[in-house]
Chain A
Amino acid sequence: MKDLLPFIIAGITSGSIYGLTAMGLVLSYKTSGIFNFAHGAIAAAAAYLFYTLNVQHGLAWPLAAAVCVGIGGPLLGLALEALARLLADVPPARKVVGTVGLLLAIQGVISVIYGGDLRSTPQFLPTSRFSIGGTQVEYSQLIVVLLSTGAAVGLYLFFRSTRLGVAMRGVVDDPTLLALDATNPVRVRRAAWLISASFAAASGILIAPTLGLEPLLLTLLVVQAFGAAAIGSFSSLPLTFVGGLAVGLLSSLSTKFVLGKSALSGLPPSIPFLVLFVVLLVMPKRRLVQAGVRVRTSVRDRSGLPPRARLAVGAGGALFLVAVPRLVGAKLPAFTSGATFVLIFLSLSLLVWTSGQVSLCHAAFAGVGAAAFGQLTTQLHVPWALALVLAGVVTVPVGAVVAIPAIRLSGLYLALATFGFGILVQRVGYPSSLLFGAAGTRKVPRPGISWLSTDTGFYYVVLAVAVLACLLVWAVYHSRLGLLLRGLADSPLALSTMGTTVNVTRVLVFCLSAFLAGVAGGLFGAAVGNIGGFGFGPFESLTWLTVLAVAGTSQFGAAFLAAGLLAVAPSYEPGSWNQYQTLVFGVVALVVALQLPQRYDLRGRVARAARGSAHRRVTSPLRARTALEGVKA
């Protein structure tokens, strides 16, 4: 027991911060129905602001903390509330895209200002120690636990006893009823977002000294709150705080148990995601009621181009793709990797836009495919083309595993479960000898025929596979399955009461999608030559989804555009532009998810404005004359 105590104390310390973060997350989700994937990014932003004020400008820490938590947090909260209101009536997949876009945008801003390097930030709380049962404990740890617990208890009391708190509980259940009672639901939601963002800010500041400042690390690690929120079944605040403590304790204790077992070294940091995944799998379905699912609009953009123009664009594009090796010179590798990404985005768009399922673990599919392809070719000496197909086949069961949560869950919970799964695969799967092994990378060869392994030859190989994949997806789209998938996106209920076992449909689309992503991973590996898990992390999954959202919802056009944006465009940007890429993707994805152009009828307005000005020009001779006189004068 004695040697466990340090781990328990460390676990409680970090766990109480997770609890704090998670409560903020649950609070905003419960009151607005928007699950804020960017919650961790807010914590990161606050931590950086604190760093600037406290470390760079020497502001005393209580003052700096007050600015971050008392001003920065609430301001962000206000912005978030407005955003959540806009996201309220868009389909679930777009809600996810929206807040993931926000995550990327905030992280992009941080990267632009501070760069991506890890900075250490000193512990601002007193670091002197006292002893509990022979274990040295820092006062900073005690203060963190007291602060977090205090905030938790305060929030609980606020909920129980104040009018606003009670209203906050009511707003979740029935906003219209609350409005009848002369309580403005917007005001209640705004208060919830203020508290939520302030909690995030506080937890970011508290956790930064132990984690260090790095945009991604902080963004994803504070997202540990997901696991805690899952334990609270995304609705109970006290349970959520307890969940935070449990996650912290489990993580901390597991570090002790895996000491010296290198194969399991990825386990402790993935505990929260393991918890998230398992809880989502076993939690009774009725406890996972989605808040705020009132989708009024089911907007699916149609390609606005007339068929002839579409044909022309297609033919022009095809000619360009064939001529690429002659046109682009040294940038050819970017185009080769772009062609592999066409497969990725085909597979992702089949899942997300066609069937309405969300996957935040697509990079994991590709990673498994890449590792499998490397093993099949270099160790089992399977012929190249066959190995490529098998790399896809090996990924299919992984897709089927992810389909299990898809059967039980939908929308947000599915997104969370897949996200947790992706992180598990990255942390526990990639280092195992089954995938990339301890070395972390695998050699992946190109085809044995000499011309095909040159850069030009291999570009054509990848292009050919991409064309085959397009044909496959086209065939699926126009088959019975394609119709079922589009029906599934609109109303699984109708589909199942008409005789289709929709769970089978879901498994099919996940398997198909995983197959394509697996093949893409293999090709990507062969293009690079030596591949590891670093290009297939959860952050990549998030980025891919946002880039796809940016590229639109057409089945084929979007896949090519997204691949171009992600893989080819950066090679044409000036170096200084590169750092803005995440920010731009994030912001554009947010705009797309909010359906701002449709909401404000931009196209119609532009058309009307054009008509209107023409109209004025004709019918207003007075204005024309004054203008002329003006010229004369």
Chain B
Amino acid sequence: MTDMTQTLGSLAVADAAAAGLAVEDLTIRYGGNVAVSGLSLDAPLGRVTGLIGPNGAGKTTTFNACSGLLRPSAGRVSLFGADVTNLAPPARARLGLGRTFQRMELFDSLTVAQNVRLGREAALAGRNPVRQLISTAADRRAIAGAVGEAIELCGIGDLAGLRAGSLSTGQRRLVELARALAGDFRFLLLDEPSSGLDKAETTVFGSILRRVVEERGSGILLVEHDMDLVMRVCDYIYVLDFGQPIFDGTPVEVRRSPVVRAAYLGSEATDV
């Protein structure tokens, strides 16, 4: 089983252009306000794609449209080559799209282990009432494997028995990531996963993301404020400002771009 995942993983890495998440001409309006306007981005499997921009640039709005929490006013969202614009969030998740939240959405009264387990159980439960009631022996094996792997990868084994509500922010970020990793998601949307982490934790976090992409062949779309992390882990970066796409390119190109520099310096001074 593990061997097979690895083989599939390396295949996906080999075929770097494998379709992951793509957004075409996305526009989202709230009443009269345009939150995102004409954004197109392509985040293939086997890569970490960054989505950056000053506060209020429309990054989280884009995420919500990708995971189905928001209906776009115009444009298309496609996942692994299939149009998912009209699918509800659970249906997109079942196709293999996982996400985390800027304000973490953990199951606070459950233990860390149960949180991570739900990452897999929730997808297996799906929408079939019988599947929501009971799990099969095969399910249980798959769950045990995925949960163990995710907990190990994120290094939260010693927290497993604690209640999620009692953890520090840094630990909660890791639990949320582990929960998303335990799910059978081939593509992950990570919304500011490093905010609240200290320098050392962020470094660990970055290396986990690289491992996920390289070993599993998953795709990641990352919204992040920590520019060091973005520059280190991303293969390609899209920059948004006031809902408009203003630049995209490799980390080196983004770092050099005067347009990006202006956007950031104009709103908040960040050393890009």
With A483-B117, A499-B183: A505-B105 Cβ-Cβ less than 8 Å: no
Chain B 82-123 interface mask (CB, 8 Å, partner A; 1/0) = 000000111001100011010001111110001001110111
Task: Tell me the smallest distance from the CB of A232 to a CB of chain B, in Å.
Answer: 21
Cα separation A493 to B67 with both chains bound (whole Å): 11
Q: Would you list which residues of chain A between 478 and 519 have a CB under 8 Å from chain B?
A: 479-481, 483-484, 486-487, 489-491, 493-502, 504-505, 507-508
In the bound complex, residues from chain A placing their C-beta under 8 Å from that of B124 are: 480, 499
In the bound complex, residues from chain B placing their C-beta under 8 Å from that of A501 are: 88, 90, 126-127
B231 CB-CB contact with A under 8 Å: no
Q: Within the complex, which residue of A481, A486, A502 is in contact with B90, where a contact is CB–CB below 8 Å?
A: A502
> Which residue of chain A is the closest to B128 with respect to CB atoms?
A504
User: A490 touching B114 by the CB < 8 A rule?
Assistant: no
Cα separation A493 to B118 with both chains bound (whole Å): 13
A298 CB-CB contact with B under 8 Å: yes
Instruction: Give the secondary structure class of A's interface.
Output: helix
User: B126 touching A494 by the CB < 8 A rule?
Assistant: no
A300 CB-CB contact with B under 8 Å: yes
With A500-B90, A501-B90: A487-B132 Cβ-Cβ less than 8 Å: no
User: B105 touching A500 by the CB < 8 A rule?
Assistant: no
In the bound complex, residues from chain B placing their C-beta under 8 Å from that of A500 are: 90, 122-123, 125-127, 132
In the bound complex, residues from chain A placing their C-beta under 8 Å from that of B89 are: 496-497
Interface residue count for A (Cβ, 8 Å)? Answer: 26
> Which residue of chain A is the closest to B140 with respect to CB atoms?
A480
In the bound complex, residues from chain B placing their C-beta under 8 Å from that of A493 are: 69, 101, 105
> Which residue of chain A is the closest to B182 with respect to CB atoms?
A498
Chain A 421-449 interface mask (CB, 8 Å, partner B; 1/0) = 00000000000000000000000000000
In the bound complex, residues from chain B placing their C-beta under 8 Å from that of A484 are: 118, 121-122, 125, 132
With A483-B114, A504-B132, A505-B132: A498-B107 Cβ-Cβ less than 8 Å: no
User: B122 touching A487 by the CB < 8 A rule?
Assistant: yes
Cα separation A501 to B94 with both chains bound (whole Å): 10
With A487-B110, A489-B109, A491-B107: A497-B118 Cβ-Cβ less than 8 Å: no
In the bound complex, residues from chain A placing their C-beta under 8 Å from that of B119 are: 498
> Which residue of chain A is the closest to B110 with respect to CB atoms?
A486
User: B108 touching A497 by the CB < 8 A rule?
Assistant: no
Q: Within the complex, which residue of A298, A483, A504 is in contact with B118, where a contact is CB–CB below 8 Å?
A: A483
Cα separation A508 to B127 with both chains bound (whole Å): 11
Task: Tell me the smallest distance from the CB of B89 to a CB of chain A, in Å.
Answer: 5
Q: Within the complex, which residue of B106, B131, B135 is in contact with A494, where a contact is CB–CB below 8 Å?
A: B106
User: A480 touching B105 by the CB < 8 A rule?
Assistant: no
In the bound complex, residues from chain B placing their C-beta under 8 Å from that of A480 are: 121, 124-125, 131-135
In the bound complex, residues from chain B placing their C-beta under 8 Å from that of A491 are: 105-107
With A479-B133, A481-B132, A500-B90: A298-B109 Cβ-Cβ less than 8 Å: yes
In the bound complex, residues from chain A placing their C-beta under 8 Å from that of B126 are: 499-501
Listed in ascending order, the chain B residues whose CB lies under 8 Å from chain A are: 67-69, 88-90, 93-94, 98-99, 101, 105-110, 114, 117-119, 121-129, 131-135, 165, 179-180, 183
Listed in ascending order, the chain A residues whose CB lies under 8 Å from chain B are: 298, 300, 479-481, 483-484, 486-487, 489-491, 493-502, 504-505, 507-508
